[in-house]
């Protein structure tokens, strides 16, 4: 795993943007970090790196937001409101585990291990270390 030290929300977005430029069809990003860590800012950068002009916001209340207009569609899932493995398994998310674009899943630690069948899975963990400081740990896939 690689570690990136971010000193601002903009730097967190910039890392997401770099990963978006390197992302390939079928990529699933498992994104973890506590509330306020910068997960949605990371996804905003990812969307920009994919070339999407969309304004990214957290899909906490809708479960999935889809952003198009870039070189690949981006599917942004937020599992915060799904509390049990049974809820996640019954949510009908199977199509997002092998996407036609890129899937990023906030609160990915809630996914039951037997629920996801994908060959291109990348982990990104954001830790709060200061008011605007973050440690971002990620599987290096060319970013």
| CA–CA distance, 98 with 71 (Å, rounded to integer) | 17
Question: Would you state the structure tokens that stand for residue 110, as one six-digit string?
Answer: 């809630």
pLDDT of residue 143: 44
Query: Integer distance in angstroms from the first to the last C-alpha of the chain?
Result: 12
Tell me the Cα Rg of the chain. 14
Q: What is the pTM of this model?
A: 0.90
Secondary structure class of 56 (helix, strand, coil): coil
Q: Where are the domains of the chain?
A: 2-138
Q: Please report, for residues 47, 49, 51, 86, 128, the alpha-carbon distance to residue 68 in angstroms, rounded to integers and kept in the order given.
A: 9, 12, 9, 30, 30
pLDDT of residue 93: 86
Q: For the segment 19-59, what is each residue's pLDDT rounded down to a tens digit? A: 999 999 999 999 999 999 999 999 999 999 999 999 998 88
Q: For the segment 123-138, what is each residue's pLDDT rounded down to a tens digit? A: 999 999 999 999 999 9
CATH superfamily of 2-138: P-loop containing nucleotide triphosphate hydrolases (3.40.50.300)
């Amino acid at each position: 795993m690689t570690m990136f030290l971010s000193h601002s929300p903009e730097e967190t977005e910039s890392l997401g943007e770099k990963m978006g430029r390197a992302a390939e069809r079928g990529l699933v990003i498992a994104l973890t970090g506590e509330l306020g860590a910068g997960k949605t800012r990371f996804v905003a950068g990812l969307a920009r790196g994919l070339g999407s002009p969309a304004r990214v916001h957290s899909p906490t209340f809708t479960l999935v937001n889809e952003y198009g207009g870039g070189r690949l569609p981006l599917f942004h899932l937020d599992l915060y409101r799904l509390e049990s493995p049974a809820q996640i398994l019954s949510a009908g998310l199977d199509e997002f585990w092998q996407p036609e674009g890129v899937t990023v899943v906030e609160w990915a630690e809630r996914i039951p291990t037997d629920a996801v069948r994908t060959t291109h899975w990348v982990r990104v963990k954001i830790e709060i270390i200061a008011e605007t400081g973050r440690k971002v740990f990620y599987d290096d896939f060319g970013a």
